[in-house]
Amino acid sequence: MGHSKVEKAESHERIVKVAAGVFRELGVDGISVADLMQCAGLTHGGFYRHFGSRDDLVAEAVERALKDGSAVADAVAANPRSTIDAVVDAYLSLAHRDNVASGCAVTALANDVARSTERARSAYSLQVGRYVDLIMRLIEPMPQKKRRAAALAALATLVGAVSMARAVNDERLSREILKSAADDLKARLA
């Protein structure tokens, strides 16, 4: 690869990485292409050397954000000491609530992905499936069908609780949402 191809690949990677974080934090429509390129340290004019359209960037950034979450899930799954309680505590933590840009893309991007391209929705669906599989491995043994239903309900509770805790403007209520969801999940899944 020539020097300019290397630089182009590095710039492309930087744009996607920045977009993955910014989209989680501000939403897909929360930043213009010009501002996003500025955040990546590049000029607006260079955008179309990397992407055919904004939708192409959105799809790739969503895939990246979800891939980052997949790496975290893989690390949890690889640790033989991982428990469902530890996953619940980490997901429903104040740190996760407060760090939207580096938090779970399944929570942060749900509404944006619902209105996005088929490519983004497919990536999202794949990650939801990975999380369901992870939760199924961590919960108490029960029949497969019942375990899958419990894992889906648990994931929906995790995602919904974090979304609500981020949205309310009352710190006490936000903490109460997280704690109530955590207590309920631990009781149901233990």
The number of C-alpha atoms within 13 Å of 129 and in the hemisphere containing its C-beta is 6
Q: CB under 8 Å to 76, separation ≥6 — which residues?
A: 82, 86, 87, 134
pLDDT recorded at residue 2: 53
The pTM of the whole model exceeds 0.85:
yes
pLDDT recorded at residue 144: 87
Measured CA angle at 103 (ends 172, 87), to 5 deg: 80
CB 56 within 8 A of CB 125: no
CA distance 103 to 60: 17
Q: Please give the share of the chain, as a percent, with pLDDT higher than 90.
A: 79
In CATH terms, the fold of domain 3-189 is: Tetracycline Repressor; domain 2 (1.10.357)
The domain segmentation of the chain, as residue ranges, is 3-189
